[in-house]
Amino acid sequence: MKKFSIVIAGGGSTYTPGIIMMLMDSLDRFPIRSLKLYDNDAKRQEIIAKAVAIALKKVAPQVEFSYTTNPEEAFSDVDFCMAHIRSGGYPMRELDEKIPLRHGVVGQETCGPGGIAYGLRSIPDIVELIDFMEKYSPQCWMLNYSNPASIVAEACRVLRPHARIINICDMPVGTLRRMSYIVGKTPKDLDVKYFGLNHFGWWTSVKGKDGTDYMPQLIDYVSKNGYLTQKAIETQHMDESWQATHKKAADLQAVNPDCLPNTYLKYYLYPDYVVEHSNPDYTRANEVMDGREKKVFGAAQSIIEAGEFRGSEFEIDNHAAFIVDLARAIAYNTHERMLCIVENKGAISNFDPHAMVEVPCLVGSDGAEPLCQGDIPTFQLGMMQQQVAVEKLVVEAYCEHSYQKLWQALTLSKTVPSAKVAKELLDDLIEANKEFWPELR
Ligand code: NAD
Ligand code: G6P
Ligand code: MN
């Protein structure tokens, strides 16, 4: 049986240990011979890598493990690159969130002006990873979590149209898990229909394998409680601010009563509410730096200091399970059904064929094949046309170094009230991102 070789790009990510633990848990169904970490921040990566080395010695000593900041070493002889880089790190995320709030606008990692700013930082870095992969392991697949996934996916479509990359998001997976709790099933028992853009979509069907339609029950539940559930064994999306987001889904559901919303729609449907409930001095980036980052790096440090892995320091979650399932689906051509971010090509029949959309796909050795979701209603179509134009303008602005197009992108975002605010915001974002963005003319 073939054993696979994997590189994790963004080795120093807070999600790296969880993915590795999941990979080790899955060795019988997805065997691995080599695992490498790659990062452009040697010091950050080293902490995770040293702890992982100790853990692997205990749980899977047969897997060859190494870490590097050298692209050739990292990307040579690999079958899969699991990528989750954060261009600019948490300090830039903090600015993405705080600068818009200073202008009374939603400050969010992937939505609105913050997502646009992050997008312009991510594009060159992801393109660089693709180029390393194609140079050193042309057969390799990149499974990419790096955000903002919608803008990153559009940039890949435009700049590297033939790349073997699949862009993914864990939010629908996490929410499906919550749905499965509500109806007393497991996620693997459920088949869904879904359409949208990344962090911008709706479920139109949730059914059991036997055909049982769970939509009426879910709609009733979500209209009252959002996606807050009693049972929740998740490690991800559990902080108080996330609980508020799950709860807010009730108000999202009210706008489109026939379908179930992605939680991220709150930034577009209730931006005024979001701004009112944000603390401009302490945003999600601060929560993450004080929370997940400290927790994961603290756990790594304690393993290093003890020189020993007890087995429970790192947690496995949906996020890790999804990317391992995806790799496995490609490796064994399983045609498992999963939500991926792909070029529309008619899957949403009445929507731009060249938009990058998030829809159920069959995943196999040729990648992700989108499943037809048919026509979508006018309300969602209108919202998606506006948002996809924002995303396309960001990529055009990047390619053409165009100040004008980036101003248009910000102006068009549903989160921004006027061209005036958009311009003021843009000038602040340019200043904050001058180390990362192309010079705009
Ligand atoms: P993190 O800052 O802890 O980790 C990112 C790592 O990437 C860091 O170690 C950093 O040094 C490294 N890095 C940055 N630029 C790089 C480059 N050009 N080349 C190589 N390495 C580079 O961040 P995190 O919170 O763990 O999140 C990682 C990424 O995963 C983010 O983009 C986040 O938005 C994304 N994410 C996406 C989803 C999704 O649904 N798609 C879910 C969770 C996280
Ligand atoms: C969800 C989204 C990701 C996003 C993450 C943010 O999982 O799908 O795209 O990166 O939430 O979580 P955080 O805990 O970093 O705010
Ligand atoms: Mn996501």
- Tell me: the pLDDT tens digits for 71-92? 999 999 999 999 999 999 999 9
Is residue 407 a part of any domain in this protein? no
Q: Into how many domains does the chain fold?
A: 1
Cα of 120 vs centre of ligand 1, distance in Å, is: 15
Q: Does 128 fall in a domain?
A: yes
Nearest CA to ligand 2 atom 8: 171
- Check residue 204 and give its pLDDT: 98
Residue type, position 407, single letter: W
Residue nearest to atom 13 of ligand 1 (CA): 85
CA of 145 to the centre of ligand 2 (A): 10
| Contact predicate 188/179, CB 8 Å | no
Task: Assess contact for 357 and 381: CB atoms under 8 A.
Answer: no
Residue 437 in tokens: 């963005």
The parent domain of residue 67 ranges over 4-168
Question: Which residue's alpha carbon is nearest to atom 11 within ligand 1?
Answer: 41
pLDDT at position 316: 86
Question: 20: domain CATH number?
Answer: 3.40.50.720
Token readout for 134 is 């194609």
Q: How far is the CA of 186 from the centre of ligand 3 (A)?
A: 21
* 360 belongs to a structural domain: no
Q: 169 CB under 6 A from ligand 2?
A: yes
Residue 79 lies in a domain: yes
214 located within any domain: no
Q: Is residue 142 part of a domain?
A: yes
- Does residue 412 sit within a domain? no
Quick one: pLDDT at residue 232?
65
CA 297 to chain centre: 21
| Ligand 3: centre distance to CA 92 (Å) | 18
Bridge partners (DSSP) listed for residue 394: none
Of 84, 262, 292, the one to substitute when testing ligand 1's pocket (max ligand atoms within 8 A of C-beta) is 84
Q: What is the structure's pLDDT at 200?
A: 98
Phi, psi dihedral angles at 271 (to 5 degrees): -60, -35
pTM for this prediction: 0.98
pLDDT at 233: 65
Which segments in the chain show pLDDT lower than 70? 232-234
Which pLDDT belongs to residue 274? 98
Residue 386 falls within a domain, yes or no?
A: no
pLDDT at residue 207 in the model: 98
Active site residues: 170, 264
Atom of ligand 2 nearest to the CA of 239: 14
